[in-house]
């Protein structure tokens, strides 16, 4: 399996080989990886909390260009400096679906604000 090319100035993500085919990126597209993480996150010992709704778990973690963002079910999203590319790669498992765009991921997985206040157990 071949993986989409990253621009030369960007870190190379770790993408395991799995049966889901990752199509090559079209001009202007950016490789974005995401993880739904239902548990708390405590990088460097500090609990990550949403500044808008005070949620402490059930995150969409997004990596783009080597930077890691966290999105809450309330739709608040921020760059999380305590999670780097290595930490993201440690959490990243198999590729189980390829989406057309990040907005499709956000809506389909319920991180668009519609399920604000909801957590899955």
pLDDT number for residue 43? 87
Region of 28 (left: φ > 0; alpha: ψ -120 to 50; beta: rest) is: left
pLDDT number for residue 11? 57
Q: How many CB atoms lie within 10 A of CB 24?
A: 9
What are 31-89's pLDDT values in tens digits?
A: 788 889 999 999 888 999 999 999 999 999 998 888 899 999 999 999 999 888 888 88
- The model's confidence at residue 9, banded by pLDDT at 50, 70 and 90, is low
Measured on CA atoms in the order 11, 91, 121, 41, is the torsion positive or negative?
A: negative
% of the chain beyond a pLDDT of 70: 74
- The model's confidence at residue 91, banded by pLDDT at 50, 70 and 90, is confident
Residue 61 exposed, middle or buried by CB count within 10 Å (0-12, 13-18, 19+): buried
Read off the pLDDT of each residue in 108-116 and give the average, rounded to a whole number: 85
Q: How many CB atoms lie within 10 A of CB 119?
A: 11
Highest-confidence segment of 2-11, 28-37, 89-98: 28-37
Between 79 and 118, name the one with better pLDDT. Answer: 79
């Amino acid at each position: 399996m071949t993986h989409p090319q990253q621009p030369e100035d960007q870190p190379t993500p770790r993408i395991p080989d799995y049966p889901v085919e990752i199509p090559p990126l079209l001009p202007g597209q950016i490789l974005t990886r995401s993880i739904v993480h239902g548990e708390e996150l405590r990088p460097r010992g500090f609990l990550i909390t949403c500044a808008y709704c005070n949620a402490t778990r059930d995150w969409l973690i997004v990596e783009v260009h080597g930077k890691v963002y966290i999105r809450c079910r309330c739709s608040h999203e921020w760059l999380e400096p305590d999670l780097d590319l290595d930490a993201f790669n440690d959490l990243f498992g198999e590729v189980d679906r390829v989406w057309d765009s990040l907005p499709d991921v956000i809506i389909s997985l319920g991180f668009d604000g519609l399920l604000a206040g909801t957590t899955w157990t």
